[in-house]
């Protein structure tokens, strides 16, 4: 099985281009990131070309985090900001050859205005990204870590994807978030497999390395492999000891899953 290093949490002691190189040395098959915009796209592209690692995705900017933002796309009255963030993300993704952009919904009251705003902005994102062959991902995020996040259930995401009918719009299935909100990971992945664009893992409840906690990831990933899912699994966790390298004892045995 293949794995992608999420450089928003892993190898953060390095600047992004060097983090990409560190992921390659550690044995990862791909990389992904959160908010790379402070780094010139040319530097990131050069590191990707040097290592041969694909960049699976990046996020739209979250907005004013100090002011309580955690995404913009579902916030009524802030469409101009949300679309500027989408344009920025698509342009950067195109410049470095990233496969996907995760459009962050943000925290809302869950009402119809927020839902309509989110869907309108996702249509805009699919149009802009489609011109570059880039996918759009939406991710249910748990309400323990991010109270009020507009999208928190897998079925809500699936409903949006079905209703919008955009081929480039897919589900980012984060096992950590889904286990906290809903559980039943194997059956949920199986039920929504045709909609899934990316899968991420981390231990529950501490979001550490995936070889501990309440989710039996070796068993889950064997099932995922048996379903025919053959893309890299995103390692989006926070190293328990603060040192990515020291916590990577899980990687080799996990890579052997499904072999």
How many CB atoms lie under 10 A from the CB of residue 104? 29
Kind and range of the H or E run holding 178 = helix 175-181
CB 150 within 8 A of CB 74: yes
Are 60 and 88 spatial neighbours (Cβ–Cβ below 8 Å)?
A: yes
How far are the Cα atoms of 26, 50, 163 from residue 21, in angstroms, in the given order?
9, 8, 40
What is the H or E stretch that residue 138 is in?
Answer: strand 135-138
Q: For residues 92 and 182, give the distance between their C-alpha atoms in angstroms, rounded to a whole number.
A: 33
Instruction: Give dist(CA 59, CA 85) in Å, integer.
Output: 9
List % helix, strand, coil for the chain (3-state, nearest 5). 40, 15, 45
DSSP 73-105: TT-TT-HHHHHHHHHHHHHHHHHHT-SEEE--B
Catalytic residue list contains 139: yes
> Length of the chain, please?
259
Active-site residue, selected from the candidate residues 87, 139, 155, 214: 139
Is residue 120 exposed (0-12), middle (13-18) or buried (19+ Cβ within 10 Å)?
middle
Q: Determine which one of 32, 115, 209, 236 is catalytic.
A: 236
User: Do the strands 196-201 and 169-174 form a parallel or antiparallel pair, or are they unpaired?
Assistant: parallel
Active site members? 139, 236
């Amino acid at each position: 099985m293949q794995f992608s290093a999420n450089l928003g949490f892993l190898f953060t002691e390095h600047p992004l281009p060097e983090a990409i190189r560190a992921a390659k040395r550690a044995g990862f098959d791909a990389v992904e990131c959160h908010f790379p915009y402070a780094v010139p796209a040319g530097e990131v592209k050069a590191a990707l070309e040097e290592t041969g690692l694909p960049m699976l995705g990046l996020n739209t900017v979250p907005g004013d985090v100090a002011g309580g933002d955690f995404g913009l796309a579902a916030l009524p009255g802030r469409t101009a900001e949300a679309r500027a963030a989408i344009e920025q993300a698509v342009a950067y993704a195109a410049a470095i050859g990233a496969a996907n952009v995760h459009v962050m919904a943000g925290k809302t009251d869950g009402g119809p205005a927020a839902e309509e705003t989110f869907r309108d902005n996702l249509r805009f994102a699919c149009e802009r990204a489609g011109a570059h062959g880039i996918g759009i991902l939406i991710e249910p995020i748990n309400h323990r870590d991010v109270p009020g996040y507009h999208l928190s259930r897998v079925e809500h995401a699936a409903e949006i994807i079905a209703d919008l009918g955009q081929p480039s719009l897919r589900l980012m299935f984060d096992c950590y978030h889904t286990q906290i909100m809903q559980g039943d990971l194997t059956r949920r992945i199986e039920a929504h497999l045709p909609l899934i664009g990316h899968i991420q893992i981390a231990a529950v409840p501490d979001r550490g390395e995936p070889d501990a906690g309440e989710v039996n990831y070796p068993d889950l990933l064997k099932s995922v492999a048996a379903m025919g899912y053959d893309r890299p699994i995103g390692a989006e966790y926070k190293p328990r000891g603060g040192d990515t390298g020291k916590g990577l004892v899980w990687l080799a045995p996990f890579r052997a899953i499904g072999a």
